[in-house]
Amino acid sequence: MNSTPKVPSPTTPYNSNIAWCVPKAGLTDVQLQANLDYACGQGIDCSLIQPGGACFEPNTLANHAAYAMNLFYHTVGQNPLTCDFSQTATLTSNNPSKFSSGFCTAFFLFLSSDL
């Protein structure tokens, strides 16, 4: 019997332990900035997406908002209601790094520590 835990692949079907909170497609910069401000204003550590931080690049509002929204969702207990952001966010079981090379590696390292 192998006691080594199975590491999920990025395309594993939805599981509450493997979810990313990301902005919905088509959001305006105003909506993304509001989500970023809210998430970072709730006490999560947004220093990694500040200038000089490990996740500052790529320096886009969409990437910074996605990082902060997902960090907020995981920090406050992974309740689906904490990934609402006034109906501008969604939970996905698809690892966003599979689709965008711009997402910060630390973003996903945080998640893997919760698994």
Are the C-beta atoms of 102 and 63 separated by less than 8 Å?
A: yes
CA 47, CA 21: separation in Å to the nearest integer? 19
Q: Residue 73 corresponds to which tokens in the numbers above?
A: 């969702």
> pLDDT tens digits for 54-88?
888 888 999 899 999 999 998 998 889 999 999 99
3-class DSSP assignment, residue 30? helix
Closest by Cα among 34, 47, 44 to 85: 34
Q: What is the pLDDT of residues 93-106, one digit of tens each?
A: 887 765 455 556 54
Give the range among 12-21, 33-42, 98-107 with minimum mean pLDDT. 98-107
pTM: 0.74
DSSP 84: -
